[in-house]
Chain A
């Protein structure tokens, strides 16, 4: 059974159509619409009509009319053969979106054969309608135009040679007497006798050669331009389809995000309603009423926190570069401010919060200050939230550079060529907390990593620590938007170390158009980074 070819076949064909130096699209169109065959039927009927009119108009019978009618009948017979062949090929080529690649070499041969035989038949008709004196020689040019539209350039040129050879053979044959007798173009007209004038024959052949190759030159040029246009349109179409796919993916992701966000916002409300209805229905024991009310208040706080984090994520995801101003900002100042802000929280949990900001080092990074605060604030918040007492949280800031040739970090002590190295300001937040499962870091289980929105580690869930699952998504977003880098080490039960790096203010600023490109990568380290800064670390306390 004739099965439509698969998508891969169609793609292979498309790439071939782009590469082919002939207009395969026009060829397929010719096969589908049968216009070449219809055109030939028109010629056959026009010739028969001309003979009929001639018979009525002129009293004299055209000499050789029987042979001429036979030639026209032969043309009709050949056209029937082409019709059958065309039907067979069309069955193989089918629709334009399901074209059979294997049919094309035959289709090309099919068109070449048609043009060649048409030229031969045209010469036969010329033979009986005035020979080299016949104005019907103009139809050679017509065939050249069709040939250059459908065939490869080399094939079209060969057809041109074939046409001029046939015409020259007819003219020279009649001139030297190999072809006899000569028939006049119209039966009633007096004999001109130009066919036996060598000069006229030479000029007629030269004119036809010029006409044929001139037509080929212009037609092939136009065909080539059409080819290029077709390729451009194909590429534009492909780009459009890719854009459409990207938009669809984005819409799907956005829709999923909205659904999940709605769930996250609804959860606290659902909890509040559930607990409230239990109080109303006297299901909550009297002794637990106060504790249940505290839970309700806590759920309200959770809901507000979720909304705040969603708004933060929406803000850092904002594509409009005017909403972010990556001006040089002293990362050390931001870290110290955030550490002081989080100190009461760490104190309440019985944690030691240390902060190390080196003196005399340029720690200015090119990043939006609000984005930076959101990023470091979330890392610090997580470190405190997921570390139990007794435990340590250590925040340190460094100026670093990455040597592209070595692909590793080193301190910015050396003054190697800055044009080959990228300078960063890094912030490391290290804790001795519960850590994250390896599959949650890599997302290897297929459900995404902790850096994806709403993804939370099982250790955190087991410990019933409230959270929206948006903190690390915000961190990643800020790092990506800021053309930074993100490194993480974590082990369950031992703690986590997150390092975010932002381009130093000395680095070349990124253009606004570069926003929203996923330029950064998350590096998962196998060994815990050395964060020991010795006596340089400042243990924060309430005195400052």
Chain B
């Protein structure tokens, strides 16, 4: 399956992660748009709905990523876009955060823990996009 031209929006406040993810995924043919904040990311996603969203959990607040994913999944135009949550918080702790907000906030298709492993990230992206194309 070709990834040529597939659009990924990355929302992460860490510029190094922007660079690292670009290095990992751009050679695969993905087009990456990087955003530093939740509002900026939401605007980008609404203006140009991507094929996949990579979303950090801790942005301006420790749980902004969950709020953002919840908001996107409530929006009919964005609800079907898969989300991979990427955070140093770890998926166990991430789930704890989400549980406090409410189970409906666990809206991501997948959790990936930082530090990123290039092979694992590529595999996760391929799985999520592959699963989506099979639907």
Contacts and interface: CB of A to CB of B under 8 A. Distances in A.
A98 to B, nearest CB: 30
A454 interface: yes
Given A259-B96, A271-B17, A278-B118, A458 B40 contact: yes
Given A263-B58, A275-B16, A447-B63, A270 B37 contact: no
Nearest to B63: A447
Interface string A454-493: 1111100111100000000000000000000000000000
B37 A274 contact: no
B93 A458 contact: no
A263 B96 CA distance: 13
Contacts of A266: 88-89, 114
Residue among B20, B58, B87, B89 with most chain A CB within 10 A: B20
A398 to B, nearest CB: 33
Nearest to B24: A283
B115 A273 contact: yes
Contacts of B134: none
Interface residues of B, number: 34
Interface string B1-22: 0000000000001111101100
Most B CB within 10 A of own CB, among A267, A273, A284, A456 = A267
A136 interface: no
A272 B67 CA distance: 28
Interface in B1-53: 13-17, 19-20, 23-24, 27, 36-40
Nearest to B62: A260
Nearest to A281: B118
B37 A458 contact: yes
A137 interface: no
A120 interface: no
B89 A447 contact: no
A275 B20 contact: yes
A433 B47 CA distance: 29
B67 to A, nearest CB: 7
A187 interface: no
Contacts of B61: 447-448, 454-455
A462 B15 CA distance: 10
A518 to B, nearest CB: 21
A284 B23 contact: yes
A241 to B, nearest CB: 23
Nearest to B15: A464
Given A263-B87, A462-B40, A278 B15 contact: no
A269 interface: yes
Nearest to A255: B96
A440 interface: yes
Given A266-B114, A458-B39, A461-B37, A440 B60 contact: yes
A462 B88 contact: no
A461 B114 contact: no
Contact of A274 (B16, B39, B64, B97): B16
Most chain B Cβ neighbours within 10 Å, of A278, A461, A462: A461
A255 to B, nearest CB: 9
A269 B64 CA distance: 21
Interface residues on A, range: 35 or more
A245 interface: no
A517 interface: no
Interface string A268-291: 011111110110010111000000
B129 interface: no
A259 B92 CA distance: 11
A447 to B, nearest CB: 4
Contacts of B110: none
Given A277-B117, A462-B37, A457 B60 contact: yes
A107 B93 CA distance: 54
A283 B118 contact: yes
Contacts of A349: none
Contacts of A447: 60-61, 63-64, 67
B116 interface: yes
B128 interface: no
A299 interface: yes
B17 to A, nearest CB: 7
A295 interface: yes
A533 B12 CA distance: 42
B59 interface: yes
B36 A464 contact: yes
Given A274-B116, A283-B23, A448-B61, A259 B13 contact: no
B60 A456 contact: yes
Interface in B83-106: 87-89, 93, 96-97
Interface string A343-374: 00000000000000000000000000000000
A279 B71 CA distance: 36
Contacts of B13: 456, 461, 464
A259 B89 contact: yes
A274 B115 contact: yes
Contacts of B89: 259, 263, 266
A447 B115 CA distance: 26
A257 B27 CA distance: 39
14 contacts: A263-B62, A263-B87, A269-B115, A270-B115, A270-B116, A271-B115, A277-B116, A283-B23, A284-B23, A292-B19, A458-B40, A462-B40, A464-B15, A464-B36
The 10 closest A-B pairs by CB, nearest first: A273-B115, A270-B114, A447-B61, A270-B115, A458-B37, A266-B88, A464-B15, A274-B115, A461-B13, A270-B88
Given A263-B93, A458-B40, A464-B13, 18 more contacts: A263-B87, A266-B88, A267-B114, A269-B115, A271-B16, A271-B20, A271-B114, A281-B118, A283-B24, A284-B23, A292-B19, A447-B61, A447-B64, A454-B58, A458-B60, A461-B59, A461-B60, A462-B37
